[in-house]
Amino acid sequence: MALEFRPIRQEELKRFAEVNLTAFGEALDSWHLDWFEGHFEGSSTIAAFEDGVMVGSSMVLPVTVAVPGGTIPAAGVTAIGVLPTHRRRGILRRMMEELMREPHQDGLPLAVLWASEGGIYSRFGFGPAARSLKIELEHPKAALRPMPRRGRVRLVSPQEAAELFPAVHTRLLGRRPAMVARGAVAWRYALSAEDPHIPREEAHLFLAVHEGGAGVDGYLVYRIRGDWSPRGPESTLVISEMVAEDPAVTAELWRYCTEVDLVRRIEASGRGCRPVDDPIWWLLADPQAMVATLTTTLWARVLDVPKFLEGRHYQHDGSIIIDLEDGAAGHGGVFRLEVSGGLARCTAASGPGDISLGWSELGSVSLGLRCVSHLLAAGRVRVTSAEVARRADAILSWEPAPWCFEDI
């Protein structure tokens, strides 16, 4: 049976969406179809066909991703799926090879994705590059320590949210590596209560802003999972998104959540997952009221090593020779990275590197996650001395830590 791999035509988009949703065990509905129609223009696709019938889907969206010190254009890999009848025959591998060719040719320095399963993408040169915390908080009313009130929280309509939220999001984008910029379509979906993944009974989104001295400086999206027991209310407040540049504003948004009546539990999950440096633990009178689960969010793959390393910024000056190993994901090379005043020059070098690593590990350090020493402990990088690992961590890591809540 003959396999063919090629971009789809507009009239094949519905089948493409259907193949993708079938791969995920979901039905095609108008919400998903709208998503594909809204994102088709400007995207590139590769579909797999067996004897002319589509059996696999893959897509790259042009995205803007925050890197340490700024933002860059990147390839957002999405809509990856192979029909259950056609798995483990190398279809994903072929689609990835075809899909990655174009962004590379277009000079994009980085590709990013969210993985359904963590075992899939390392072989294609992607490394887990950002993580966040799913937080569960019990008895929130009793939970926060006394703290001074700074501004006020105000509920807003969907129209007001659409006007006020983007500026807050954009300000944070400039400071927090791994965030992904939102265009109009992404905002429409972020503020839509019709997401079929949200249970119908909790599909109302409550929208709020925090206003400080200089105006709106934070926003919150949440839902209420209502429940009653013979003892009274047992509802859960589910944070769908909490965004603020200033941790003190984040603290106020947490305070608001803990003061909502009839709520016995707060959950920050999905897009509401919090950055690893969220202040909540320090705000709690009883820090054991909170349970947090570390989750992987954005995976990154460097496509053009010098361009990427010169495109991001650094908080520590220094130099290091990186030996990027050849692997299934591509040919490597030896690169000298010299950082001065927070900016880097990256040039081809010869001879042994101070540090040797693979494409996936390069992806993991790319957005500033402090992990070289951990990768060393896990036997995933090699260094010429312990000092090199400390130096590499100092040069490559970034504060605040990468955080991504945009499920591309």
Ligand X SMILES: CC(C)(COP(=O)(O)OP(=O)(O)OC[C@H]1O[C@@H](n2cnc3c(N)ncnc32)[C@H](O)[C@@H]1OP(=O)(O)O)[C@@H](O)C(=O)NCCC(=O)NCCS
Nearer Cβ to ligand X, position 119 or 148? 119
Could you give the CA distance from residue 284 to residue 273 in angstroms, rounded to a whole number?
18
Could you give the CA distance from residue 103 to residue 106 in angstroms, rounded to a whole number?
5
**How, if at all, do strands 131-138 and 127-128 pair?**
unpaired
Could you give the CA distance from residue 172 to residue 331 in angstroms, rounded to a whole number?
35
Q: From the CB of 280, what's the least distance to ligand X, in Å?
A: 29
Nearest to 236 by CA among 157, 139, 349, 92: 139
**CB-CB contact of 210 with 244 (8 Å):** yes
Q: Which of residues 199-258 bind ligand X (CB under 6 A)?
A: none
Q: Which of residues 110-169 bind ligand X (CB under 6 A)?
A: 115-117, 119-120, 123
Q: How far apart are the first and last CA of the chain?
A: 33
Nearer Cβ to ligand X, position 98 or 278? 98
Q: Which of 15, 87, 380, 382 binds ligand X (CB under 6 A)?
A: 87
Q: From the CB of 401, what's the least distance to ligand X, in Å?
A: 23
Binding mask 27-66 for ligand X (x = CB under 6 A): ----------------------------------------
- Residue 196 φ/ψ, nearest 5 degrees: -65, -10
Is 19 a binding residue for ligand X by CB under 6 A? The answer is no
Q: From the CB of 113, what's the least distance to ligand X, in Å?
A: 6
Q: Which of 59, 66, 67, 80 binds ligand X (CB under 6 A)?
A: 80
Q: From the CB of 86, what's the least distance to ligand X, in Å?
A: 7
Nearer Cβ to ligand X, position 29 or 399? 29
Torsion angle defined by CA atoms of residues 51, 52, 57 and 60, in that order, rounded to the nearest 10 degrees: 120
**CB-CB contact of 83 with 98 (8 Å):** no
Is 90 a binding residue for ligand X by CB under 6 A? The answer is yes
Angle, alpha carbons 207-210-212 (nearest 5°): 160
Tell me the two tokens of residue 370: 């402090």
Report H helices in 133-235: 158-173, 184-190
Nearer Cβ to ligand X, position 116 or 384? 116
Q: Which of 17, 54, 61, 91 binds ligand X (CB under 6 A)?
A: 91
Could you give the CA distance from residue 272 to residue 270 in angstroms, rounded to a whole number?
5
Q: Which of 19, 67, 92, 355 binds ligand X (CB under 6 A)?
A: 92
For ligand X, how many residues bind (rule: CB under 6 A)?
A: 18
Q: From the CB of 5, what's the least distance to ligand X, in Å?
A: 12
Is 81 a binding residue for ligand X by CB under 6 A? The answer is yes
**CB-CB contact of 157 with 50 (8 Å):** no
Q: From the CB of 160, what's the least distance to ligand X, in Å?
A: 34
Nearest to 322 by CA among 259, 381, 269: 381
Alpha-carbon distance values, 358 to 22, 124, 320, 330, 337 (Å): 33, 11, 16, 10, 16
Q: From the CB of 60, what's the least distance to ligand X, in Å?
A: 13
Report H helices in 224-320: 247-259, 280-283, 305-311
Q: From the CB of 164, what's the least distance to ligand X, in Å?
A: 32
- Taking CB under 6 A as the binding criterion, the range among 109-117, 193-201, 278-286, 347-355 that sits at the site for ligand X is 109-117
Nearer Cβ to ligand X, position 115 or 224? 115
Binding residues for ligand X (CB under 6 A): 23-24, 80-82, 87-93, 115-117, 119-120, 123
